[in-house]
Amino acid sequence: MPYPLVSEESLKSWYLGWRDECEKAWARVPPTECPQVIENTTGAEFDWATEVATIIEQLRKILEEEGDKLFEVRGAEIIHRALPDHEALRDPEFWYWMASVPGRELIEMRYPYKEKIPTREDWEASGKTEKPSFLPARANFVSPDAKEVLFFRLWIRAEMSRLVDDSGYDPYEYTGGGTEFWRSHLLRVLYAQHRPFLQAFVDFQFPGPDRDKPALGVEEIRQLAKDLSKACANVSVELFDRDQSKAFIERVWARTSSARAWVKG
């Protein structure tokens, strides 16, 4: 069955038009048009409109009931369980469609406009040239790095971290941890593409059963991530199992990062 998609060029143009409408209204307003949707005929039959609408509704309830903190943790599992192994999931333009058409309002809920907006007159009098940003960041809808697009970011988080062996454990045990930790130190780095290493790093930084309390502070984890990137250039982490990965991370922290990390005294 064909799957829906929106081209990168079309979506960028749509977002710019929406931004212009908001600046004209001097407020966040709904876009007057939807981006152009086209179909790709590759892949098995699947009712995308119905299934994606169900996913969006489940995600909306999580956001309303549990808030930002758990949205990406719980959302990653929901979207990964619901979507089939289909060619569409390997096409960034499918995720552009999901973000800009069925998922647009949810992204607006996830990123509400929180700043106090000056009146147009006050802004003009201030002499500033940069106008207020009324919309969620464009990368949540379209980005050269698809991992920045909200719904793909959730799906790939679960795909990268899931347990693939029949161990009897929750396959999504390792999707936990803070959003910034995931975006900065897992989704954007090469070493996290090896599942056992990623799982060991999640264990290291979020060791508790709920994975809600980080072991290291912001500056410490940044330093460790930098040192891991350097250290991984000299080893084949893809040969490590989870225990070996854990020992490697602990060794890098003990020998280099802990000595250099900025810590409040």
Give the model confidence (pLDDT) of 146-162 as tens digits: 999 999 999 999 999 98
Residue 168 lies in a domain: no
DSSP structural state of residue 47:
-
CB 27 within 8 A of CB 132: no
Residue 80 lies in a domain: yes
CB 28 within 8 A of CB 154: no
The helix (run of H) or strand (run of E) holding residue 3 is strand 3-5
Distances (CA, A) of 85 to 46, 77, 119, 195: 11, 14, 49, 18
Q: What is the pTM of this model?
A: 0.88
Both 30 and 106 in one domain: the answer is yes
What is the pLDDT at residue 239? 93
Both 134 and 180 in one domain: the answer is no
Contacts of 103 (CB under 8 A, 6+ apart): 52, 56, 150, 151
Q: What is the pLDDT of residues 243-255, one digit of tens each?
A: 999 999 999 999 8
CB 142 within 8 A of CB 149: yes
CB 91 within 8 A of CB 172: no
Q: How many domains does the chain fold into? A: 2
CB 128 within 8 A of CB 169: no
**pLDDT at residue 167 tops 70:** no
Distance CA 27, CA 21 (A): 9
Q: What is the pLDDT of residues 54-108, one digit of tens each?
A: 999 999 999 999 988 899 999 999 999 999 999 999 999 999 999 999 999 999 9
Domain that holds residue 200: 176-260
Both 142 and 186 in one domain: the answer is no
**pLDDT at residue 18 tops 90:** yes
Strand runs (DSSP E) across 19-79, as ranges?
38-40
Residue 38 lies in a domain: yes
- Taking CA 45 as the corner, what is the angle to CA 143 and CA 195, rounded to the nearest 5 degrees? 50
Percentage above 70 pLDDT, the chain: 94
What is the pLDDT at residue 120? 87
**Buried/exposed code over 217-246 (b: 16+ C-beta within 10 A; e: otherwise):** eeebbbbbbebbeebbeeeebeebebeebb
Both 182 and 221 in one domain: the answer is yes
Residue 138 lies in a domain: yes
| Chosen domain end from 146, 161, 184 | 146
Alpha-carbon torsion angle 88, 90, 93, 97, nearest 10: 50
Residue 28 lies in a domain: yes
Per-residue confidence at 1, pLDDT binned at 50, 70, 90?
low
Per-residue confidence at 125, pLDDT binned at 50, 70, 90?
confident
Distances (CA, A) of 108 to 61, 103, 209: 14, 9, 31
**pLDDT at residue 116 tops 50:** yes
Both 93 and 13 in one domain: the answer is yes
Residue 125 lies in a domain: yes
Work out the burial of residue 170: count CB atoms within 10 Å of its CB; fewer than 13 is exposed, 13-18 middle, 19 or more buried.
exposed
Residue 171 lies in a domain: no
